[in-house]
Structure 1
Amino acid sequence: MPRFSIIIPVFKVQGFLRECLDSVLEQSYTNLEVIAVDDCSPDGCGAILDEYAARDRRVRVLHLPENVGLGPARNAGMPYATGDFLFFLDSDDTLTPGALRAIADRLDETANPDDADVLVFDYARTYWWGGTRRNVLARVLAEAGDGPFTAAEHPEILDLLMVVWNKVYRREFVMREGFAFPPGYYEDTPWTFPVMLSAERIVALDRICLAYRQRRQGNILSTTSRKHFDIHDQYERVFAFLDSRPDLASWRPYLHTKMGEHCLDILSKPDRLPESDKAEFFRLTAALFRKHKGGMTGPLPAELRVLEGGFARYRARRQAGRVGRELGRRGQQARRAAATRVKRGWSAAHEHRPLDPGLAVYSAFSHRGLLGDPAAVYDKAREIAPHIRGVWVVRDEEQAALLPPDVEHVLLDSLRYRQVTARATYFVNNVNWPGTLVKRPGSVHIHTHQGTPLKYMAADLLDKPGARHGLDVPQMLRRADRWDYSLVANRHSELVWDRAYPCHFTSLRTGSPRNDVLVRARPEDGAAVRARLGIPAGHRVVLYAPTRRDYIRGGHVDRVDLARFADDLGKGHTLVVRLHPSLADGPARGMGLSELHRRGVVLDATDEPRVEDLMLASDVLVTDYSALMFDYANLDRPIVIHADDWGAYAASRGAYFDITADAPGHVAYSYRELTRLFASGAWQDAEAARLRTGFRARFCEYDDGRAAERVVRTLMLGEKVDEPVSVVPAPAHAEHDVLASS
């Protein structure tokens, strides 16, 4: 018996159908059956379904003699289902990789796996123009907890999109309760509410398991039609269900409110109803609202009071609301303009005062706090130049709250920020300062960068239009014109920055200040971090740090099945995952990482503020093309490169040299090769050490553990300090690699 019966109603989706079916049949979890219902589709869908059924015995096709609609087509497939759980998948949507495995694992995690009535999972909207947006209420799933619950115990679960396809249902539960889909639009409404209110054991899965396609055309709920009037009949069915279940009567006020909100939402959309039908729709909605209000007490929500008046009053309030919003928008613009004038005047007033030789301003990673090279310079300045006051720029109060209590800060673009930046002598940053900041004569701007460059940067991106999408290179260079000093950790970086930033700065061979802690690391330095992260004593820690991709919108692509990798590493290993910071707030973690972290399969360390701590706590780094490898090499610990898409990455972004040819360790070109390296122990063999030694000689050239001190003494105290001396000279071909790549 299959675990999942996936029922797919099909009608006029021939352009999307193969992608849908492939997303199911190529899942790593294979204990499933597909029941595809051809709803008398007039295009090539029927032939596509027959083709798939002929080559995969898990696919069964039902060809209906006439078109019955989405709900009845689902009903037609249900009698043929034999699986433990029903999954209703729309034929233009797709499952995400690993979705069924994650659902099965979550069910197995419960005390009685086959007794869960409903499992609710997350989804992401995928737009026809290429964008992706995660469900904005994903937190509801995270807050549901680990165990089963009812809707009464966690009513927020009903705030999620009330659709059929973001859940799986125990077939025995559905059959026992006699649930079925009605005809018409909004058929999910009289299915989902009865199911969710009847379920005694609901389980939540905080993982994106489905890509909900937002079509440019063809979405029936976005089509202008009188069929939207079906919503009234569908809610009549919901209330009829309540009438048959006295034990659920307490839900009537909630559903009464939900009905009013849903109908008014349809009425407010410009593309749902013909203008001539809106008055009739309003009258029917108001009548339905009055009919089911009986016996309810308490005031109506403000937004639903319009249903107690006529359509003319409703339209007048809508128009008044639009006028009010427009006036508010104009008022906001006027206030912003006035605030800008005040700030400019404040800056100008302070720019007439002399620079303060004892004031330094710091920022890192677009004002995210005490991090990276600027943090290392700040700490060293407090130690050896305490007369220089350091002030950090942070973007908001949330970031400010994360600073140590003794660290002075200002909020970006506040009056205090304008005052401090107008008077400071020293500016230390690893990102360009905002364009509004004026460089005064005598001020010293120190740019630390964010590591050794592998991928093309700045002016070198001018020949890579895909990689510089949304990036204003000329503006970037105008801001870089304010730099006085550019810190470099090796001659490779020095050559690249001179090319990529054709500006008037001086390269300073200091090493990378943030790497001082790595150069001076002792074997026991990572123990405290391991304990804080809950890593068992004696475990070998594998740090996996993938970078973002420029050849895919959003930057995220799963190159490694994390659950499989953690399992293949075996007992005694902890897999720590660190996503690129630009992916931390997007859908990437919802594609499985958050759920695997919750279950203890992997440790998600994306939010750890100090990546240096993670490096100290690890035994080996696995990465693709992240600049983290250049810093990690200072630890002289094994590095494994997973380069299964190097050709696509290098072609889309551009690279200064071939990391697969000049690697810091063994290179895996497939997942099989990656796991073979760990299974055989080759990841830490003599050849790995030899490759790492050459890599360190070339890219850790100036990292001697004194970089932050060298910056402070040279640029703030005006002392003469010797340049770092490389223990092993960089390879003679270093310059050739950079220049030949242009």
Structure 2
Amino acid sequence: MTHFENRPWLSVLIPIYNVAEFLEDCIDSVARQWIEGVEVLVLDDASTDNSEEIILQLTGRYSFLKSYRHELNRGVSAARNSLLKYASGEYIWFLDSDDFILPNALHEIQSQLKSKEPDILMFDYIMVSEDIAALTATESSGHHIATLDVTGKQALLANKARILMGMLRKRRFQTWARISRYELWNSGLTFPEGKYFEDLFCVPELVFSAERFAYCRLALIAYRERSSSIVQSPDVKKVADLLAAACSVLDLWSRSNYPLNRKIQLVHIRFCAITFINGMKMLKKSGLNTEDNRQMLRDFWFKSLDLNIFQLIICFMSNGRFGTLIRFLRHMYGPIRLRVK
């Protein structure tokens, strides 16, 4: 692997905002398995809890840890973009400050990067409860989530359209479930500030920029299911951003005239339909699933995909997705009642 002797081989970038309860767990999970050549950068996005105090304690404890701060809260996208400017590693790994990495993750990552030299390394994760302790957690501590749908045991892939197809089928676009070369970010790619679901906006472009991919089927990170997460506290703005991100997945690919076959386009439409269903469930949970909101988001969805209802029905029926179609129409237009005489 080139350049490892002159620069860190990995930059772990951790944006922080009001996560004092989980912050030490996160950093300690990295420290317990730290390897020479790994730098860990944290950025406090103007937290109002005691996260800053904990960061000071941790930077005094660990020499590999460097900290930065925003004077005003600017959001996770801005925090990640700032961290990218400070990073010097050959590879970049974004880690959320309320999650943690599993035992031997760094050793596995180093082995995969050295042997395969991918532009992007993808891996699985586990979902754990909010109160689980990182110190005692293992891969069997939570529900294993596969991030890529690929057949066979092939671990090194070069077909980026196949990668995109596998991600769409699994509906997994989390930035923290992949490690990527710094150069992919240094080409001008940034997270969209002011938008929710920033990973879904950004990761398809990241994949488009890469040529070599590796997939590790091991779970290397633990994702906490928190009651205060974006999905658990929805509003119309969040759902609109979710739909916009899903509908835009193929935009760069289309603008660049990348050859995408009809199958992947259909898989993308189905992905967008399921995302719409999930968005309506989010609104219902918060009591915002009104007809006006549904109509606004419905019109936006069709316009973004340049579809009409008849084209959509033909698309689903021709692919035998009748059940998904019925669920989609029910969430898009409200309950469907069949009158039998």
Instruction: Please report the TM-score for the alignment, with normalisation by the length of structure 2.
Output: 0.80
| TM-superposed deviation, 1:129 | 5.9
- Conserved in 2, the CA contact under 8 Å of 1:94 and 1:212? yes
Q: Identify the match of residue 267 of structure 2 among 254, 260, 264.
A: 254
Cα distance, 1:136–1:240 mapped onto 2, change above 3 Å: closer
SS across alignment from 1:60: strand
| TM-superposed deviation, 1:309 | 8.6
Q: Identify the match of residue 263 of structure 1 among 246, 267, 276.
A: 276
Distance 1:136 1:55 in 2: 33
Distance 1:67 1:88 in 2: 19
Distance 1:289 1:144 in 2: 38
Cα distance, 1:282–1:20 mapped onto 2, change above 3 Å: farther
SS across alignment from 2:15: strand
1:156 — aligned with what?
166
- Conserved in 1, the CA contact under 8 Å of 2:280 and 2:331? no
Distance 2:77 2:236 in 1: 18
SS across alignment from 1:19: helix
1:299 — aligned with what?
314
1:203 — aligned with what?
214
Q: Which residues in structure 2 correspond to 1:205-604 (within 5 Å)?
A: 205-215=216-226, 217-228=227-238, 229-235=240-246, 237-247=248-258, 250=261, 251-269=264-282, 272-277=285-290, 279-293=292-306, 299-301=314-316, 302=322, 303-304=324-325, 311=332, 314-317=333-336
Of the structure 1 ranges 258-267 and 233-242, higher mean CA displacement relative to structure 2 is found in 233-242
2:37 — aligned with what?
31
Q: Identify the match of residue 102 of structure 1 among 85, 99, 108.
A: 108
Distance 1:186 1:51 in 2: 31
Distance 1:310 1:268 in 2: 8
1:20 — aligned with what?
26
- Conserved in 2, the CA contact under 8 Å of 1:99 and 1:210? yes
1:119 equivalenced with 2:130 (yes/no): no
Distance 1:156 1:4 in 2: 26
- Conserved in 2, the CA contact under 8 Å of 1:221 and 1:272? no
| TM-superposed deviation, 1:202 | 1.0
2:183 — aligned with what?
172
AA aligned to 1:280 is N
1:143 equivalenced with 2:152 (yes/no): yes
| TM-superposed deviation, 1:69 | 1.2
- Conserved in 2, the CA contact under 8 Å of 1:17 and 1:91? yes
Distance 1:260 1:45 in 2: 39
Distance 1:189 1:195 in 2: 10
1:134 equivalenced with 2:143 (yes/no): yes
Distance 2:35 2:169 in 1: 30
- Conserved in 1, the CA contact under 8 Å of 2:168 and 2:268? no
Distance 2:236 2:283 in 1: 13
Cα distance, 1:53–1:129 mapped onto 2, change above 3 Å: closer
Cα distance, 1:139–1:157 mapped onto 2, change above 3 Å: closer
- Conserved in 1, the CA contact under 8 Å of 2:20 and 2:50? yes
Distance 2:243 2:147 in 1: 29
| TM-superposed deviation, 1:238 | 3.6
Instruction: Please report the TM-score for the alignment, with normalisation by the length of structure 1.
Output: 0.39
AA aligned to 1:13 is V
AA aligned to 1:18 is E
Larger Rg: 1
Q: How many residue pairs end up in the alignment?
A: 311
Identity of aligned residues (%): 23
| TM-superposed deviation, 1:279 | 4.3
User: What is the Cα-based RMSD across aligned positions, in Å?
Assistant: 3.0
| TM-superposed deviation, 1:99 | 0.1
Of the structure 1 ranges 231-240 and 254-263, higher mean CA displacement relative to structure 2 is found in 231-240
AA aligned to 1:259 is C
Higher RCO, 1 or 2 (CA under 8 Å, sep at least 6)?
Answer: 2
SS across alignment from 1:208: strand
| TM-superposed deviation, 1:260 | 2.1
| CA deviations over 1:79-131 (Å, ceiling 9, x no partner) | 11100111010000000111011011012122xx2xx1110011101113659
Which sections of structure 1, spanning at least 5 residues, go unmatched?
321-742
Distance 2:106 2:27 in 1: 14
- Conserved in 2, the CA contact under 8 Å of 1:260 and 1:285? no
SS across alignment from 2:82: helix
| TM-superposed deviation, 1:156 | 2.4
